[in-house]
Amino acid sequence: DKTHKIAVIAGDGIGTEVVPEGLRALEAAARRFDIRLEFEHFEFGSCDYYLEHGKMLPDDWFETLSGFDAIFYGAVGWPEKVPDHISLWGSLLQFRRHFDQYINLRPCRLMPGIKSPLADREPGDIDFYVVRENTEGEYSSIGGKIFEGTERETVMQETVMTRTGVDRVLKYAFELAQSRPRRKLTSATKSNGISITMPYWDERVKAMAGKYPDVSVDQFHIDILTANFVLHPDWFDVVVASNLFGDILSDLGPACTGTIGVAPSANINPEGKFPSLFEPVHGSAPDIAGKGIANPIGQIWCGAMMLEHLGYQEAGEAMVSAIERVLADDDKSALTPDLKGQGTTQSLGEKIAAAI
């Protein structure tokens, strides 16, 4: 009965509004399942912190956060205050790299009461994970510009894949597929166009597949794969992808289920050597920030993923099921306006906490 230390960074915009509801739900789950969680709050990792200190994080952020079991993040970024390439590269992307959170895991799931943009799909029809490589690939900072300011100006950027980096994300994805009833893995590639790195990716998928004979494997080029997310979302179980392709698929997937506004994202260091980070996909949403109407489900769902990561599968599932029961409930009065309710961030958070 270990006490789990959780670093809480509310961050920017609606992050500060939804995080309290995420904590409320986590506390409800902790009570019910007898889990010991200890929260500590931090101001850094936000644009306001940057405006005051000239940096997104204090110099000792790595030591400070290393002692935690997980980071529970609200949102970061507010382009009118600080350009994204400063706020995001100065926080989120630092965490991913330095805490070696090499897995980005995102569930794509059709939920009751949430309208999908796709015709003729019901809850249960769509239920898959995107497993994204989260530290290398297309997101390298190697490259530069030559002949600057002239007609010959040329800009280059390197995509870098390592055997270590590719194999470990594949291993994680294969094991996830193994744990699910359908045992199916889909690899996102583009080896017909990106002719060096992507054939290498395919080669490693093939090698890894040999070790998991009970998982059925297929692959699609990213162009037709995005098409198939729309046309045949029921085909997918676990989809594994490089950093960029995973970034795309893990927004497109939740878009297809109508859940992009409530989707969670887990940045995981599977070995637990460093803290993993859980943040909703929606971001800081400057347009509705400060109004108390932001939907807290993404943040609560993040809490569920965090508990599952800490080893409490049942507690995580109970939180997701509470979300689904509240969404399916005929009484919509506590729901936020995006769900056609008349409620607030807090009223929806309270209702979900009560359901847990």
Residues 67 to 86 in contact with its own copies, rule: CB under 8 A = 84-85
Distance (Å) of CA 127 to CA 108, 171, 235, 252, 302:
6, 21, 10, 14, 17
Sequential DSSP letters for 285-340 = -TTTTTSS----HHHHHHHHHHHHHTT-HHHHHHHHHHHHHHHH-S--TTS-GGGT
Q: Which amino acid is at 125?
A: D
Rounded to whole angstroms, the Cα distance separating 134 from 277 reads 12
Question: What minimum distance in Å lies between the beta carbon of 65 and its own copies?
Answer: 22
- Closer by beta carbon to its own copies, 29 or else 208: 208
118: left (phi over 0), alpha (psi -120 to 50) or beta: beta
Stretch that binds its own copies, among 58-66, 188-196, 209-217, 348-356 (CB under 8 A): 188-196
Sign, CA dihedral 309-312-314-318, equals: negative
Chosen from ligand IPM, its own copies, none, partner binding at 197 (C-beta under 5 to 8 Å by type): its own copies
> Which of ligand IPM, its own copies, none does residue 191 bind to, with CB < 5 to 8 Å depending on kind?
its own copies
Query: In DSSP terms, which residues pair with 186 in a beta bridge?
Result: 218, 239
The piece of 136-144, 178-186, 264-272, 310-318 that touches its own copies (CB under 8 A) is 136-144
DSSP class per residue in 240-268: EE-HHHHHHHHHHHHHHTT-TTT-EEEEE
Stretch that binds its own copies, among 27-35, 157-165, 295-303, 318-326 (CB under 8 A): 157-165
Residue 350 C-beta: closest distance to ligand IPM, Å: 28
- Beta carbon nearer to its own copies, 118 or 217: 118
Residue 251 as a binder of its own copies (CB under 8 A): the answer is yes
Residue (226 or 336) nearer to ligand IPM, CB: 226
Amino acid (one-letter) located at 273: K
Residue 152, binding choice from ligand IPM, its own copies, none, Cβ under 5 to 8 Å by partner class: its own copies
Report yes or no: 91 and 27 within 8 Å, Cβ to Cβ: no
Work out how close the CB of 26 gets to its own copies at its nearest, in angstroms, rounded to a whole number. 27
CB 292 within 8 A of CB 346: yes
The angle that helices 345-355 and 313-328 make with each other, rounded to 10 degrees, is 120
- Residue 181, both tokens: 């009833």
Sketch the per residue contact string, 85 through 124, with its own copies: x for CB under 8 A, - otherwise.
Answer: x--xx---x----------------------xxxxx----
Work out what residue 18 binds among ligand IPM, its own copies, none; the CB cut-off runs from 5 to 8 Å by kind: none
Q: Which is nearer to ligand IPM, 242 or 265 (CB)?
A: 265
287 binds, among its own copies, ligand IPM, none (CB under 5 to 8 A by kind): none
Q: For its own copies, which residue of 38, 218, 223, 317 counts as binding (CB under 8 A)?
A: 223
CA–CA distance, 285 with 181 (Å, rounded to integer): 36
145 binds, among ligand IPM, its own copies, none (CB under 5 to 8 A by kind): its own copies
Q: What is the x/- site pattern for its own copies, positions 263-292, by CB under 8 A?
A: ------------------------------
Terminal-to-terminal C-alpha distance of the chain: 21
Residue numbers at the binding site for ligand IPM (CB under 6 A): 88, 192-193, 223, 247, 265
- Residue 169: name the closest of 161, 179, 181, 157 by CA: 161
Q: Which does 226 bind (CB under 5 to 8 A by kind): ligand IPM, its own copies, none?
A: its own copies
- Nearest CA to 90 out of 47, 138, 146, 148 is that of 47
**Which residues are at the interface with its own copies (CB under 8 A)?**
84-85, 88-89, 93, 116-120, 138-139, 141, 143-145, 150-164, 190-197, 199-200, 222-224, 226-228, 230-231, 243-244, 247-248, 250-252, 254-256, 260
